[in-house]
Amino acid sequence: MYDLAWTMTRLTLKNVAGSFNKHFNFYKKIVGYLVSKMHTFFTAVLLLLISTFVSAQDISHQLDNYLSHKKKKNIFNGTALVVYRGRILLYKGYGYKNITSKSYNDTGTFYRIGSLSKPFTATGILMLAEQKELTLKDSLSAFLSGYPRGDSITIEHLLTHSSGIKEYLEIKTIQVLPDSAPPISIERLIDHFKDHPLKNRPGEKFSYSNSNYILLSAIIEKITGKKFEDVIRQTIFEPLSMHHSGFDFKHVSDTNKSTGHVSIKKRILIPEDFDSTYAPGCGSMYSTAMDLYQWYKGLYNGKVMTESTREQAFVRRFANYGYGWFNEKKQGRKCISHAGGVPGFLANMQFYPEEDLCIILLSNSSERDIFTDSDKIAAIVLRAQ
């Protein structure tokens, strides 16, 4: 009986072994096939990554080469940041931060950004609208009682530069003030332009005027009971970790602060810094390239406004202008932007939402056309894609 059992066991084991060898060879072939395919796949991925890296390096070299060369005898003097789909293509400082001390700009340099302050003011207003503290159809007089013709001017008119209110920088009482003039209250600043006649009927046409955004900053203060600067810090700078942005540039003592330069009759001069209280809401900010990129990301991550509000801000209403932003067609694509300029400084921020391309150029020299530079940079990047 044991012999029979052992014989049967041997036959069973032999069959199992044969079956195992047969299946083992089959699975071995499958594994070999998969390994070869995985090797091909990972090789393809590696080649793609190498190709992407080389391509990015090439674009970065082109951008750096472009900004490093003179244009109409003028060099780029400032900081450039170009980010495409989350990948930094260029982040570099050029030229002097202070021509007197011979210190150089770098990625951490602070610059005045002039009218690039306006999108922040517009966002402050739109956030209040989201909170039901106001509507864009509310009249100016609802918040600043006694303002001449304030019943016919809406918040939306101010946001879109269609109010007809005179540009305050064209008024002689402002023009004669020296840059060294002491700080001024927002009420006294408004007094300089409020009684001048309107250039056109409210809502009739686009007429760019800094006065509109001074009034918007006053409305923000009226509703919140806080200083305009404090509201922007608390609602935008802090949530977006914009730790190197602010308003009182004249009194900034940080070594990263740049000095503005202007050229007059081939002589480089340093204009005196004006007090930021003369440009509340319209041109009082300073920032860095990376802080402004944080701002760009903040427009899309929901930390400062909803997607619906953001898209409403970008809608063209008058002369390609929305609520604090220009919306134009460039390189055959939708381009959102705003520029700025004060004596000795220029700033430009433009981005292509569908391509996730953001270009920021900040300069402490007013000689080179950084706005054309921004368009050229966009063309270099998008052409390579």
Please give the Cα distance from 224 to 206 (Å, whole number).
29
Give the model confidence (pLDDT) of 137-159 as tens digits: 999 999 999 999 999 999 999 99
Please give the Cα distance from 194 to 147 (Å, whole number).
7
* DSSP secondary structure code for residue 306 in this structure: -
Q: Spelled out in words, what is the top-level CATH class assigned to the domain 70-383?
A: alpha beta
Please give the Cα distance from 154 to 139 (Å, whole number).
4
Please give the Cα distance from 168 to 292 (Å, whole number).
27
Which pLDDT does position 25 carry in this prediction? 57
DSSP characters for 128-193? HHHTTS--TTSBGGGTSTT-TTGGG-BHHHHHTT-S-PPPGGGSHHHHTS-TTPPP--HHHHHHTT
The candidate with the shortest Cα–Cα distance to 67, out of 374, 289, 337, 384, is 374
Which pLDDT does position 73 carry in this prediction? 78
Please give the Cα distance from 75 to 163 (Å, whole number).
38
Helices 307-314 and 118-130: crossing angle, nearest 10°?
130
Report domain extents, the chain: 1-69, 70-383
Which pLDDT does position 267 carry in this prediction? 78
For 90-129, b/e burial (b = at least 16 CB within 10 A) is bbbbbbbbbbeeeeebeebbbbbbbbbbbbbbbbbbbbbb
CB proximity list for 341: less than 8 A, separation 6 or greater: 114, 115, 347, 366
Q: Tokens 């209280």 correspond to what residue? A: 277
- Answer for the pair 275, 184: CB distance below 8 angstroms, yes or no: yes
The candidate with the shortest Cα–Cα distance to 251, out of 205, 182, 300, 200, is 182
Give the model confidence (pLDDT) of 36-78 as tens digits: 545 555 444 444 444 444 466 899 999 999 999 988 778 999 9
Which pLDDT does position 211 carry in this prediction? 98
CB proximity list for 314: less than 8 A, separation 6 or greater: 322, 325, 327, 336, 353
Backbone φ and ψ of 138, nearest 5°: -60, 150
Strand duo 262-264 + 96-98: pairing: unpaired
Q: Which residues pair with 330 in a beta bridge?
A: 333
Give the chain's residues under pLDDT 50: 1-17, 19-20, 23-24, 27-28, 31, 34-35, 37, 42-54
Which pLDDT does position 36 carry in this prediction? 55
What would the two tokens of residue 53 be? 């890296």
CB proximity list for 52: less than 8 A, separation 6 or greater: none
Please give the Cα distance from 367 to 261 (Å, whole number).
9
- Answer for the pair 314, 352: CB distance below 8 angstroms, yes or no: no
- Answer for the pair 289, 357: CB distance below 8 angstroms, yes or no: no
- pTM, two decimals, is 0.86
Taking all residues of the chain, what is their mean pLDDT, rounded to a whole number? 89
Q: What is the CA radius of gyration of the chain?
A: 30
Which pLDDT does position 50 carry in this prediction? 42
E strands, 304-367, where?
326-330, 333-342, 345-352, 357-363
